[in-house]
Amino acid sequence: MIDSVISTLFQVSVPLSIPAIAGIILVRFKNLKTTDLLTLVLYFLSPCMIFNSLINARISLDDLYKTVLFCIINLILLWGASTISGKILKLPAPQVAGLTLIATLTNCANYGLPLVLLAFGQLGLEKATVFVVIQIIIGNTFGVYFAARSNFSLKDAVKSVFSLPAIYAVLFAVLFRALNLSLPDSITNGIAMAANSYSPVVLTILGAQMASVDNSTSEQECQKTFYVGMVLRLFFAPIIALLVLYVLNVKGILFSVLFILSSMPVAVNSGIFAEKFNASPKIVSKCILWSTLFSLVYLPILIVLVK
């Protein structure tokens, strides 16, 4: 068991950490700004990766149905757990909002997809892509709602989803597969090349964002919320995911992929939403940093257990 964990640590965590460390170094010594890189990822690399994965994906309708159902049930349970925790601890509304972001949104795209590719290969990546697309939609709708319920506009949330090319990449991939269409090899090769660039770029961005995280929360109440958030994300979330997967009778590589992606650290987007809507951004940012650092150790253990 220990040998398997150490082997997985070197095979998965070490390769992932190299571009992340590069991002940290570039921020510290070259003042790297991630704004342009984020634009590159959101509007080019991400849709190319999603289209390339879905067009070649070996995923059945049953897998699709179970993935969608799992995402919905998992979201509701984590939302309920964070809300109940906030009420029990009598936390102020901004901290409850931050706690909900911490519990419900995972870093499944710019950390999860490269991890799944290394741990489970191309087949795992294909099944993971569907989950990630659903999480993008959840993040840009429910994520906004969790962060700013009083300012929430369903119209704005829907607009934010359809302003990202990732959704159109999904629609085009589904259309091409339904009509059995194909692109010229020169175009598909170009899309595949861009898709292969996705992982190192987003991991470099992740490292840069971690280096920029505000790690200061001194008030006792803030510390309490931080620890509760870490428990929800690192311990409670995997348990909930495990139970839901068993109830839905999900098996095989789909089980492994959904479980690992649901156990990922706090999403970087949680920090963005928290900052924008004043949902305890310092607490959320601290959870992003520490859950990501802890994940380098606990994710290899979970991967060994589900393989």
* Assigned domain for 73 exists: yes
Predicted pLDDT at 70: 96
Give the tens place of pLDDT for each residue, 77-105: 999 999 999 999 888 888 888 999 999 99
Backbone angles phi, psi at 250, to 5 degrees: -85, 135
**Using a CB cutoff of 8 Å and minimum separation of 24, what contacts does 218-222 make?**
221/91, 221/95, 222/95, 222/280, 222/282, 222/283
Predicted pLDDT at 67: 93
* Assigned domain for 207 exists: no
* Assigned domain for 16 exists: no
Predicted pLDDT at 158: 63
Overall domain count for the chain: 1
| Residue range(s) defining the domain that contains residue 286 | 34-202+214-306
Helix axes 46-55, 113-147, angle to 10 degrees: 120
Cβ distance 112 to 260 under 8 Å? yes
* Assigned domain for 126 exists: yes
How many Cα atoms occupy the beta-carbon half-sphere of 55 within 13 Å?
A: 23
Predicted pLDDT at 1: 62
Residue 183, domain CATH = 1.20.1530.20
Closest among 2, 39, 30 to 297, alpha carbons compared:
2
First-to-last C-alpha distance (Å) of the chain: 12
Neighbours of 42 (CB within 10 A): 15
Question: Which residue is it, tokens 């010594």?
Answer: 29
Above pLDDT 70, what percent of the chain?
A: 90
For residue 91 the two structure tokens come to: 């936390």
* Assigned domain for 138 exists: yes
pTM here? Answer: 0.81
Exposure string over 62-80, b if 16+ CB within 10 A, otherwise e: ebeebbeebbebbbebbbe
* Assigned domain for 208 exists: no
CA distances from 30 to 14, 23, 33 (A): 23, 10, 9
* Assigned domain for 209 exists: no
* Assigned domain for 27 exists: no
How many Cα atoms occupy the beta-carbon half-sphere of 194 within 13 Å?
A: 18
- What is the Cα–Cα distance from 287 to 289, expressed in whole angstroms? 5
How does pLDDT run along the chain (307 residues), one tens digit per residue? 666 667 776 777 788 888 889 988 998 888 888 778 878 887 898 889 888 888 887 778 888 899 999 999 999 999 999 999 999 988 888 888 899 999 999 988 778 888 898 889 888 888 898 898 888 778 777 877 787 765 556 566 566 667 778 778 888 988 998 888 888 989 999 999 998 888 888 888 878 877 776 655 555 557 888 999 999 999 999 999 999 999 999 999 999 999 999 999 998 778 777 877 777 888 888 898 899 889 888 898 899 888 7
Backbone angles phi, psi at 105, to 5 degrees: -105, 120
- What is the Cα–Cα distance from 282 to 216, expressed in whole angstroms? 7
Predicted pLDDT at 228: 94
